[in-house]
Amino acid sequence: MALKEHPFPNKTWDTCAVVGNGGILTNSSCGGIIDSAQFVIRCNLPPLGKGYEKNVGTKTDIVTANPSIFLEKYGALMGRRRPFVESLHSYGKSRLLLPAFSYGHNTPVCMRAVYSIEDFESPIQPIFFNPEYLQSLALFWRSRGLRAVRLSTGIIMASIALEHCANVHLYGFWPFSNHPHGLHALTNHYYDDRQTKTKFHSMPAEFDLLLQLHSQGVLRLHLGDCQPGEK
């Protein structure tokens, strides 16, 4: 994943949790079971405080950042950068995975994020996607029938987890507007109802492929509330 060397060479874990940000996590009480995983991956700098802990947990080993977040929330890091660095506190000493070299237009803002982390001496460690890895991953999923302009962060991180983990658990992966059990309306994310840019991603098609892997026992999709003692 890093440009020159892999941050986890030959490393494997027994249990990994990949946490999407779907509204299905609202009132799910999944925080405890998520935090019990050996390795926890989170997507796109999601909020972990403000009472969300009960549903999504706090443990973080890798968190990704979409450059659009830097543009929309932090003014492309062209001005004050302290608010961005302070927003990273909840992720502790985890690794921040950036697509700095995957698309040329992402490089400047991603590098400003790296320099901000260094300048403010944040304990989080920036790492980078290898563009060749992302290309090979896109070809793999295309060979499985996925037709999308770009893979979503969720399916990329689920793929990485499958390479390093014996047991992969997915939470917050539900790209539909109603709960699968109660059928009540859901917000798009557990923290807001902002809509995803569907012109780039094909969330329902990705979900269908992940559901197939769930049915085959390759990974486990958690599509409901979590019960005490659940594994």
Please pick, among 179, 201, 214, 222, the residue that the annotation labels catalytic: 201
Check if the beta carbon of residue 25 is closer than 8 Å to that of residue 56: yes
In a domain, 42, yes or no: yes
The length of the chain is 231
Tokens found for residue 161: 């987890």
In a domain, 230, yes or no: no
Domain with 207 in it: 13-222
Question: Within a 10 A sphere around the Cβ of 208, how many other Cβ atoms?
Answer: 13
The pLDDT value recorded for residue 202 is 82
The lowest-confidence range among 6-15, 77-86, 131-140, 173-182 is 6-15
Question: In whole angstroms, what is the distance from residue 79 CA to residue 141 CA?
Answer: 39
Residue (of 112, 111, 113, 138) closest to 200 by Cα position: 138
In a domain, 7, yes or no: no
Single-letter amino acid code for the residue at 22: G
Question: In whole angstroms, what is the distance from residue 177 CA to residue 186 CA?
Answer: 5
pLDDT digits (tens, 9 = 90+) for 90-115: 999 999 999 988 878 899 999 999 99
pLDDT digits (tens, 9 = 90+) for 148-198: 888 999 999 999 999 999 999 999 999 999 999 989 999 999 999 988 765
Q: What is the 3-state secondary structure (H, E, C) of the chain?
A: CCCCCCCCCCCCEEEEEEECCEHHHCCCCCHHHHHCCCEEEECCCCCCCCCCHHHHCCCCCEEECCHHHHHHHHHHHCCCCHHHHHHCHHHCCCEEEECCCCCHHHHHHHHHHHHHHHHCCCCCEEEECCHHHHHHHHHHHHHCCCCCCCCCHHHHHHHHHHHHEEEEEEECCCCCCECCCCCCECCCECCCCCCCCCCCCCHHHHHHHHHHHHHCCCCEEECCCCCCCCC
pLDDT digits (tens, 9 = 90+) for 119-146: 999 999 999 999 999 999 999 999 999 9
- Between these two residues, 208 and 10, which has the higher pLDDT value? 208
Question: In whole angstroms, what is the distance from residue 54 CA to residue 67 CA?
Answer: 28
In a domain, 2, yes or no: no
Question: In whole angstroms, what is the distance from residue 44 CA to residue 31 CA?
Answer: 18
Is the pLDDT at 3 greater than 80? The verdict is: no
In a domain, 229, yes or no: no
What's the pLDDT band for 4 if we cut at 50, 70, 90?
A: low
The pLDDT value recorded for residue 158 is 98
In a domain, 88, yes or no: yes
Q: Total domain count for the chain?
A: 1
The pLDDT value recorded for residue 182 is 84
In a domain, 39, yes or no: yes
In a domain, 8, yes or no: no
pTM: 0.93
For the question of residue 184 being annotated catalytic, the response is: no
The pLDDT value recorded for residue 230 is 72
CA of 49: how far to CAs of 57, 58, 222, in Å?
A: 9, 8, 22
CATH classification at residue 156: 3.90.1480.20
98: left (phi over 0), alpha (psi -120 to 50) or beta: beta
